[in-house]
């Protein structure tokens, strides 16, 4: 399972920590259904700004190492909280995006998914669905549930997993934050890679406090040497 820390080395800001997005921007104004109802233009401006940062970024060694892990293990699933599409751009294919994807949109009225074309910051007209409803980023906002299919699939996978790796996530956003505890209950071997301690650092089997872009490639190299 990955979080924003995996994309940090690509230059994409994380959410928490000293320079985290939630230090400078308000969740209540930007990342809730109520915020979108109140001021969809402001919400779109923020998402377009983030889209532009992400479009200029490139996947980093952590993303590529995860692609290698997918190739090495027949049964593999990448559960990501990241909405930036960088795992996919790096080559990962067995991915479940539990918080959605910032480059997809869906109608806030009828729910229909739409291909997204306007990311130009100068566009003032808000994007709309054929039904007339406002289009919104297809991400999970605070106060919204993770799509039930995605969550059910995550739990199914966890039930048969042997090893779970938690990389670059602060582990404070639910329900994703429940997964390390569930893995422990299921007696799955657990490994954490993070720059700093998290709520589950004490309970995982192995906690590695280093950069994801350094550690994941080393794990891949060690596994390749052992093959
Ligand atoms: P956070 O910003 O909460 O946490 C990022 C974690 O990555 C922190 O624990 C950092 O210590 C760690 N980190 C930073 N750089 C790292 C590096 N180079 N290598 C390893 N670890 C590093 O991000 P998330 O846990 O992903 O929700 O946040 C969870 C959710 O909260 C996000 O998906 C987003 C946010 O609100 C939605 O968008 C719905």
Query: Does the CB atom of residue 100 touch ligand 1 within 6 A?
Result: no
Annotated active-site residue in 34, 63, 87, 99? 99
Query: Does the CB atom of residue 15 touch ligand 1 within 6 A?
Result: yes
Q: What pLDDT, on a 0 to 100 scale, did the predictor assign at position 194?
A: 98
Name the pLDDT band for 198 (thresholds 50, 70, 90). Answer: very high
Ligand 1 site-directed mutation target among 10, 15, 43, most atoms within 8 Å of CB? 15
Mean pLDDT of 177-193: 96
Please give the model's pTM, rounded to 2 decimal places.
0.95
- In this predicted structure, the answer to whether residue 140 has a pLDDT above a threshold of 60 is yes
Name the pLDDT band for 22 (thresholds 50, 70, 90). Answer: confident
For the chain, give every domain's residue range. Answer: 4-226
Looking at 3.40.50.1220, 1.10.40.30, 3.30.930.10, 3.40.109.10, the CATH number of the domain 4-226 comes to 3.40.50.1220
CA of 128 to the centre of ligand 1 (A): 31
| Annotation marks residue 99 as catalytic | yes
The percentage of residues in the chain with a pLDDT greater than 70, rounded to a whole number, is: 96
Query: Does the CB atom of residue 16 touch ligand 1 within 6 A?
Result: yes
Which residue has the CA at smallest separation from atom 13 of ligand 1?
5
Name the pLDDT band for 170 (thresholds 50, 70, 90). Answer: very high
Mean pLDDT of 5-34: 90
Q: What pLDDT, on a 0 to 100 scale, did the predictor assign at position 116?
A: 66
Q: What is the 3-state secondary structure (H, E, C) of the chain?
A: CECCHHHHCCCCCCCCCCCCHHHHCCHHHHCCHHHHHHCHHHHHHHHHHHHHHHHHCCCCHHHHHHHHHHHHCCCCCEEECCCCCHHHHHCCCCEEECCEEEEEEEECCCCCEECCCCCCCCCCCCCECCCCCEEEEEECCCCCCCCHHHHHHHHHHHHCCCEEEEECCCCCCCCHHHHHHHHHHCCCEEEEECCCCCCCCCCCCEEECCCHHHHHHHHHHHHHHHC
Which residue has the CA at smallest separation from atom 16 of ligand 1?
5
């Amino acid at each position: 399972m990955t979080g924003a820390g995996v994309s940090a080395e690509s230059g994409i800001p994380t959410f928490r920590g000293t320079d985290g997005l939630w230090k400078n921007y308000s969740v209540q104004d930007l990342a809730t259904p109520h915020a979108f109802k109140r001021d969809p233009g402001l919400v779109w401006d923020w998402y377009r700004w983030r889209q532009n940062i992400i479009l200029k970024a490139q996947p980093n060694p952590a993303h590529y190492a995860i692609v290698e892990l997918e190739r090495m293990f027949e049964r593999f699933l990448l559960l990501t909280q990241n909405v930036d599409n960088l795992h996919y751009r790096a080559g990962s294919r067995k991915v479940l995006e539990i918080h959605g994807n910032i480059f997809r949109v869906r109608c806030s009225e009828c729910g229909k998914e739409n291909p997204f074309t306007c990311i130009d910051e100068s566009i003032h007209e808000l994007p709309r669905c054929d039904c007339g409803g406002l289009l919104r980023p297809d991400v999970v906002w605070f106060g919204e549930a993770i799509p039930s299919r995605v969550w059910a699939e995550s739990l199914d996978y966890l039930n048969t997993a042997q090893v779970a790796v938690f990389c670059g996530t602060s582990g404070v956003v639910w329900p994703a934050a429940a997964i390390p505890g569930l893995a422990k209950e299921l007696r799955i071997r657990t490994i954490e890679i993070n720059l700093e301690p998290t709520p589950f650092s004490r309970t995982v089997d192995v906690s590695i406090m280093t950069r994801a872009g350094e550690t994941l490639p080393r794990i891949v190299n060690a596994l390749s040497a052992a093959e």
